[in-house]
Amino acid sequence: YTAKLRNDGAVVYDAAMDKSSEKSLSLLSELRKAIEREQFRLYVQPKLLLGSGQVVGVEALIRWVHPERGNVFPDEFIPFAEQTGFIRVLTGWVLEKSAALCRDLAAQGVHLKLSVNLSTRDLLDQHLPQKFADILAHHGLAPSSFCLEITESAIMDDPVRAQHTLARLHAMGVDLSIDDFGTGYSSLAYLKRLPVDELKIDKSFVLNMEHDEGDKKIVRSTIDLGHNMGLRVVAEGIESAAVWRLLAELGCDQGQGYFMSRPIPCEQLPAWLVQWQAPGTAPAAPA
């Protein structure tokens, strides 16, 4: 790659190497331009209480609106951004946009928790807690208005340093969530040691759970495990009323999925909320 990570975490550009790829701009230089040209968009997906249908938060999901390639999904550039260290720039962007959204909503009397995804590289960044604190202070927000989602593999990459960063973040008062739970290779012992507040069951277990006994058993056990450890349990990938109902019956606390809403541009959230709350419009929460 044409990027190097300096000791202070900044990404520096290696001009000599880039000459060799004059024809096709490197993805990294495209990502850098995308930031300057404001091609990233903050999308959000509502998270709601499965018992009542009340919206309690949103997950921030980044999109890249590329001039030629159209909407580029995070799976196509997040792994690359992680390898090059550029993810720190993206994470800073997402935190900043999410904080601005949270403040704007609060000004309208809407109080939602913002969930933001972090990557391994973020957990190894010793400056992250301070950067996050600065963003919160700038927007006048409490740390409790954020939930930071991390994956098991991000923790396993360097458990000691990850644990240190997570402890500092948690001490600030931010919620921590283990994302894609069940798909990583982590030891359950980490659950005991890490200061987490939430478990997110991976969508691969949820999507088809009303037809797949194995998935249903895994989901049920994960909900019980989370509750036994005093954690809030969230399901992602709810695509039908049947799965919503089943999860509510199993006692799952919160959920998100295409059945309620696909990720939408953050500007559209206030209108979506109005529509969701209007009687008769939104699908009724299962009894």
Q: Counting contacts by CB under 5 A, is residue 179 touching Mg ion? A: yes
Amino acid at 182: G
Question: What is the per-residue DSSP string for 8-39?
Answer: TS-EEE-HHHHHTT-SSPPHHHHHHHHHHTT-
Closest to ligand C2E by CB, 149 or 175: 149
The footprint of Mg ion on this chain (CB under 5 A) covers a number of residues equal to 5
Question: What is the per-residue DSSP string for 158-181?
Answer: SHHHHHHHHHHHHHHT-EEEEEEE
Binding at 95: pick from ligand C2E, Mg ion, none (beta carbon under 5-8 Å per type): none
* 113-117 and 175-181 strand pairing: unpaired
- Comparing every residue's Cβ against ligand C2E, the nearest one is 257
Question: What is the per-residue DSSP string for 187-241?
Answer: -HHHHHHS---EEEE-HHHHTTTTT-HHHHHHHHHHHHHHHHTT-EEEEE---SH
Among 122, 152, 175, 180, binds Mg ion (CB under 5 A): 180
Query: Do the Cβ atoms of 51 and 248 come closer than 8 Å?
Result: yes
Binding at 94: pick from ligand C2E, Mg ion, none (beta carbon under 5-8 Å per type): ligand C2E
Q: Which stretch binds Mg ion (CB under 5 A): 86-94, 106-114, 165-173, 178-186?
A: 178-186
Q: For residue 117, how many C-alpha atoms fall within 13 Å in the half-sphere facing its CB? A: 22
Closest approach of Cβ 184 to ligand C2E, in Å? 12
Closest approach of Cβ 13 to Mg ion, in Å? 30
Residues that bind ligand C2E (CB under 6 A): 45, 60-62, 73-75, 78, 87, 94, 117-119, 149, 179-180, 203, 236-239, 256-258, 263
Q: Please give the residue ranges that form the binding site for Mg ion (CB under 5 A).
A: 117, 149, 179-180, 236
